[in-house]
Amino acid sequence: MLYLIALLIPPLALLLCGKPFQAILSAILWIIAWLTAVVFGAGFIMWVILAVWAIMVVRDRNTRKFIEEARR
């Protein structure tokens, strides 16, 4: 479910993973991406980059959680 959120709303996924500063930066870039998508049509590339970034953070969180459980 968090992967779907990361794909659609990257700043929210970063916030849910416990990365508030990354979420703020991502939100700023996400807003810029939406504005440039409306005006210039180039915001799609930035949105893809933000989605990949959020998916990588979610994946890292899941991996760290798996490793912690394996250590117990």
Confidence of residue 16 (pLDDT cuts 50, 70, 90): very high
Number of other CB atoms surrounding residue 68 within 10 Å: 9
For residue 12, the model assigns a pLDDT of: 95
| Among the listed residues 30, 26, 2, 34, the one whose alpha carbon sits nearest the alpha carbon of residue 16 | 2
Confidence of residue 44 (pLDDT cuts 50, 70, 90): confident
CB-based contacts of 58: which residues, under 8 Å, 6+ apart?
Answer: 2, 3, 6, 13, 17
Decide if 54 contacts 26 (C-beta within 8 A): yes
Token digits for 19?
């990365």
H-run or E-run covering 47: helix 43-71
